[in-house]
Amino acid sequence: MNAMRNINTKGRIAVVTGAGSGIGRAVAKALSGAGWSVALAGRHPGKLAETARAMEGDALPVRTDVSEPEDVDALFAAVGERYGRLDLLFNNAGTFGPGGVPLEDLPYSAWRKVVDTNLTGTFLCAQAAFRLMKAQDPRGGRIINNGSVSAHAPRPDSVAYTATKHGMTGLTKSLSLDGRPYRIACGQIDIGNAATDMTERMRRGVPQANGELAVEPVMDVADVATTVLHMAELPLEANVQFATVLATGMPFVGRG
């Protein structure tokens, strides 16, 4: 057991949830390219293995459902055993839920799945990260939560996703306040239309607030990863509390 511990004592250690694809994979690759060791958390081991192969440095894939407390405990225990510390948590795992379902028809089970993954999962991972970051020497670390422009304004028929992303903002603020005495910084990145499998529908047209269907522009997911990397590599005495990174022409600012 002890032979596995602290294999990167001079490096920086990160956990990325939802690391099997999309934004999580792009951020894991960016961190790895900058010299970080990265624990990759996600529900699909095959996809985590693909991410690990695409990285330049040390990776620790851990099959994790962030909505399950036992899975989260096992993830952070593995990080503590392998590396002995944690410098960064990127809370990225999330789901949009069923699209195009009117609020009155949304099944309770669908609501719960979105809330359990997006909000409860973020809380559970942050809680586990706090425990490690408070106990380690030197003390402290950073948490970056993946919000969304839906933390500011909803899309039609997105009540569960929008509610969780508004909740994410409150969680980020609470983590920031509660982390101050322990040198734990917390920020949030609100992302709009990064080109991933989750946003592929933007290219085909999505419902707008006025009832029309419109194609929306997307941006390279690598630009999101660059922003997260900048936030991650600040000294703990500095923090990007909130950052919004979005496709320049998407209908968010103003009235469309």
Tokens 């969780």 map to which residue? 164
Confirm whether 161 is a catalytic residue: yes
138: preceding bond cis by omega (within 30 degrees):
yes
- Work out the number of other CB atoms within 10 angstroms of the CB of residue 84: 17
**Residue type for 46, please?**
G
Q: Are strands 213-214 and 206-207 parallel, antiparallel or unpaired?
A: antiparallel
Tell me how far apart the alpha carbons of residues 158 and 251 are, in angstroms, rounded to a whole number: 16
Closest residue by Cα to residue 244 from 222, 227, 221, 225: 227
189 CB-near residues (< 8 Å, 6+ apart)? 144, 145, 146, 147, 224, 227, 228, 231, 240, 242, 243, 244, 245
Q: Which of 83, 108, 161, 182 is catalytic?
A: 161
Task: Just list the catalytic residues.
Answer: 161
